Amino acid sequence: MLVFAVCNIAIAVLVYQSENAEPAFEEVLPIAAKDVYSIGILQSADLAEQDKMTDGVLAALSVEGYRKGEHARIDIVRAGGNEKKLEAGVKKFVRDKKDLIIAIGTDSAKAAAKVTRSIPVVGVGVMNFKKDEAFENAGNMTGITDNPPVLTQIRTAARCFPIKNLGILYNPSDDVVVLQLNILRAVAERKGIHLYEISYDPSKLASPQIHKLVGHVDAVYVPEDPDLLTHFDEIVKMMTEAYIPIIGEQSEMVRRGAVLSVSPGYYRMGFSGGKIAARLLKGNIIPEEIPIVKQIDPDIVINMKQANKLNIGLPGDLWQRARKLYLYDGQPARP
């Protein structure tokens, strides 16, 4: 009985280690030619910009001849911010022997890197793609990085309104947001701006935490954090009443009341990712032979209704370059 018990323990340990160990190095081969390719798209969060990236990927694949139901069988898993669902989605793709995985967002790419090192993966909109240790030695991965252009965002905003004291709400438990905070700290030091930081706790009431900014800042920077975005309308209402403009990390925040953002065109980013995926599907190339790139054509987006409400004037050249959202009540946005 003792021997039997020891054997069971040993088997349990081996099973646990095999399920939780990092994937071993595996040779990555070009995708073999076939009539119908099996593709898995993994989207980490229900965010508008990730939806646009997914739409862009599908459009590019279609243009390249890999239409869903014709030369491609495409399965999409939307994890909705659930880490377990994210990991389960990657594992299903591996079990299904997908020819290619397209990971939308940083968390999707990290989940893919954790589970497989042999199936080609195209990451789209991935923070710190080249430097994050999660992607170290991942020869099966390539794609497009999405480090926010914080310096350009602050420089553009400073041309529209004075920024001596800049507030930021951030969730310290979100690694991506902390990375953005560190970038913002470096930018603030470089520009001579005092940074007023509010550590946001999702388990507490949002309103008192948001209100801490009032009376201390000239403007507020809001990073892309799902917990904060849940209360974004409340942030806009409170800051507008205090005549404090909001700089949003991405353009969807401008639609919801931020004054401006300088951010990538997410549909274009997805389309570029889909073009990379098509290169891999054509064979004769592996991911590490395709350099990780950065989307270099960001959009300047300005909410004119909010700018007018806060009496913010725009320099002439910025007026010419920006995509202006008017968002008058009852009327659609127009360029």
Digitized pLDDT (tens) for each residue of the chain, 335 residues in all = 555 554 555 445 444 444 444 455 578 999 999 999 999 999 999 888 899 999 999 999 999 999 888 899 999 999 998 999 999 999 999 999 999 999 999 999 999 999 999 999 999 999 888 888 889 989 999 999 988 788 899 999 999 999 999 999 999 988 888 888 998 999 999 999 999 999 999 999 999 999 999 999 999 999 988 888 899 999 999 999 999 999 999 888 999 999 999 988 889 999 999 999 999 999 999 999 999 998 777 889 999 999 999 999 999 999 888 988 886 554 555 54
**What pLDDT is attached to residue 6?**
47
Q: Which of 259, 237, 270 is nearest to 123 (CA)?
A: 270
Cα distance between residue 43 and residue 46, in whole Å: 8
Those residues whose C-beta lies under 8 Å from the C-beta of residue 94, and which sit 6 or more positions away, are 115, 116, 119
Comparing CA positions, the residue from 229, 218, 297 lying closest to residue 257 is: 229
Domain with CATH 3.40.50.2300 in the chain: 25-145+267-294, 150-263+298-325
pLDDT value for 17: 45
Note the CATH architecture for domain 150-263+298-325.
Answer: 3-Layer(aba) Sandwich (3.40)
Predicted pLDDT at 221: 96
Q: Report how far residue 211's alpha carbon sits from residue 198's, in angstroms, rounded to the nearest whole number.
A: 10
Burial of 234 (0-12, 13-18, 19+ CB in 10 A): middle
The CATH-assigned architecture of domain 25-145+267-294 is 3-Layer(aba) Sandwich (3.40)
Measured between alpha carbons, how far is residue 198 from residues 22, 57, 261 in Å?
A: 36, 36, 21
> At residue 199, what are phi and psi to the nearest 5 degrees?
-75, 120
Judge whether 105 and 90 are in contact, CB under 8 Å: no
pTM of this prediction?
0.75
Cα distances (angstroms) measured from residue 247 to each of 102, 141, 221: 30, 32, 5
Sheet containing strand 100-104, strands side by side? 72-78, 37-43, 100-104, 121-126, 141-145, 293-294
Strand partners, 101: 40, 121
